[in-house]
A and B are shown apart, each in its own frame.
Chain A
Amino acid sequence: MRPILLSGHERALTQVKYNKDGDIIFSVSKDHIVCAWYSANGERLGTYHGHQGALWTVDVDPTSTLLATGGADNTMRLWEVETGKLLKTWDFGSSIKRVEFSPDGRQLLGVTEKRVGHVSSIVVYDIDAEKGTEQSDEHALRIVIDYSKATVAGFSYHAKYIIVGHEDGKISQWDGKTGEWLNEIEPHEADITDIQWAPDRTYFISASKDKTAKLIGTTDLEIMKSYATDTPLNSAAITPIKDYVILGGGQAAMDVTTTSARQGKFEARFWHKIFEEEIGRVRGHFGPLNYVAVDPTGKGYCSGGEDGYVRVHHFDKTYFDFAYEVERELGTNGTTQARI
């Protein structure tokens, strides 16, 4: 497996995302610029300019026509993927920590940071790709989080629920239409750094600074699996095709210079999703992994690190061939598709 290194950013990466067909990677970093890359060869398609502060988050709609970003300049922006044109800017009182499109691409969610004079909130906007720059200024829904601030959030299947991860390790469930509070659990002891969905969004994986990642059901918030590591986690992803999860993290950025790369544990960890066992690691970054994203087609993954690099990996045969004894006996060979 020869990774492709993308070095278009000058500062730490904050999020990387594949589009639905897995052919384009979007990356955002603290250097104010959004980059789009072809995942196949690492060629940079273009850059999106306009943000005035560090960027925290990016997401692309299912048809790869619209791109949403949010950052420390207190704006959430909508872009045309193909041309890099800025379509819409929404201004807020505090920075945007996370954006996500609904599965049908018709709603956009943003998480606003808690600041003095500003509460943490989830805002939802209706998006119409046909309208171009004429997007609605008024949010369709606003959920105010008045206790522990929200760090991450996302839409469930059919945008039925909004799942929110909190700073104190709680995960809450809200109605996607009315914004009504429905349920809450406390799976983690420290702040939740990432939530990523399974392909059908019936379950998700949460990553936390408490060094664990958990697989949680969307509807009943049942903790299905737990993966305990030895380092604070910044991101976790569920792989399609094979039953694995990828966890990324590493020592906090501020402690990095005092430790060697080996000690810092800057590796992507592969765990078996079902058996909750670590099956391998991929080394390469010399800083913590801030985000890991999986190609929705299951052929590869990429990671964005504090070191300013995006590393794109295309899995080779050993990845697909690996299966546990029991999986072989069942004849599924460890692939989700075979089992269905």
Chain B
Amino acid sequence: MSATLTKAKPTTDWAADEDEDDVLPQPEVIKNKDGTETHISYRINDDGKKIKTIRKIKHTVIRQEVNHRVAERRTWSKFGVENGRKVGPQSDTTTVGENIEFKPRANYKTTQAVEDKDLFANQKAKLKEAKIKCRICSGEHWTSKCPYKDTMAPEGEPGPGLGDSEEPEATQAGSLGQGGSSYVPPHLRKGGAATGERMSGGKYGERDDLATLRVTNVSEFAEEADLREMFGRFGHVTRVFLAKDRDTGRAKGFAFVSFADRSDAAKACEKMDGFGYGHLILRVEFAKKAT
């Protein structure tokens, strides 16, 4: 159906009217001077957006002499599941793989074996270069093989038996409990105290639950910005949190709004409770302290 045709007919049908807006421009083929062709086509994608595709195509004719039997077979019509499909390879069954360098050579096996060996030798050499250093006495052996492992702990940890008689030079902050016989929880590790302290702050930093309102019965099409605007009338809003579904991105129906000042929050609570927003009536109350 072409665009010009529909316009010529005076349509009264509202459905047809709508259609007319969506009619895609005709695909175009422009022949360029350098022998290439530019194909412009339009389509509507899944989101209902119009997509314009421009393809530049260069035709190269490769002439090949084949015997008449082969030529005749090329004209056969397709059958089976291919029945009725257009000529040419279909992208669902036929793809072109990546280029493979294939160069026959006389002593493939020996050279290949050397290459493989080289690779292996390289890895071995690398491993050799990596110095083994005992964490207890810095000697050239594994920590588990250290002659002092029963009497001394790895560097940076208090020894099990001898205490701190040999003071370690560098104390690594927040290091894992290395080499020790048992697991050390993070907050008990050396320098781990700092990690523990951060925990209480939480993701949003310190927040004053006293001036936070819980808003429920929120429309699922609500936006954080709308809420901020609505509650901003009563005072300075420090934080708006709107719970959203992870998959659909729609609001789950509740939100938290924090104010800088508790009196503003109280005012907002009083005014906004029962306020109609997006065909629903909001319910606003003070948030309960998180446990």
Contact = CB atoms under 8 A, between A and B. Distances in A.
Interface string B68-104: 0110011010111111000111101111111111111
A8 interface: yes
A64 B87 CA distance: 21
B108 A278 contact: yes
B99 to A, nearest CB: 5
A44 B94 contact: yes
B106 interface: yes
B130 interface: no
A46 B79 CA distance: 5
Interface in A220-279: 244, 270, 277-279
Contact of A82 (B76, B87, B93): B76
B95 A318 contact: no
Given A2-B96, A5-B96, A42-B94, A47 B82 contact: yes
B80 A47 contact: yes
Contacts, number: 119
A181 interface: no
B77 to A, nearest CB: 9
A47 B74 contact: no
Interface stretch (A103-111, A172-180, A211-219, A280-288): A280-288
Contacts of B78: 44-46
A205 B82 CA distance: 35
Contact of A280 (B83, B98, B105): B105
B74 A38 contact: yes
A43 interface: yes
A262 to B, nearest CB: 10
B66 interface: yes
A119 interface: no
Given A7-B93, A316-B102, A84 B80 contact: yes
Contacts of A23: 66, 70, 73-74
Main secondary structure of the interface of B (DSSP, over half): loop
Interface residues of B, number: 36
B102 A282 contact: yes
B67 interface: yes
B88 A43 contact: yes
A311 interface: yes
B73 A44 contact: no
B73, B83, B102 interface centre (most CB from chain A within 10 Å): B102
Given A42-B89, A270-B104, A324-B106, A6 B80 contact: no
A319 B69 CA distance: 27
A24 B73 contact: yes
B89 to A, nearest CB: 4
A64 B98 contact: no
23 contacts: A2-B100, A4-B96, A5-B94, A21-B69, A23-B73, A38-B74, A41-B94, A42-B96, A43-B94, A44-B93, A44-B94, A45-B76, A45-B82, A46-B78, A64-B69, A82-B73, A270-B104, A282-B100, A311-B97, A313-B102, A316-B102, A318-B103, A319-B104
Sorted from nearest, which 6 A-B pairs have the closest CB atoms? A47-B80, A46-B79, A42-B94, A322-B104, A84-B79, A279-B104
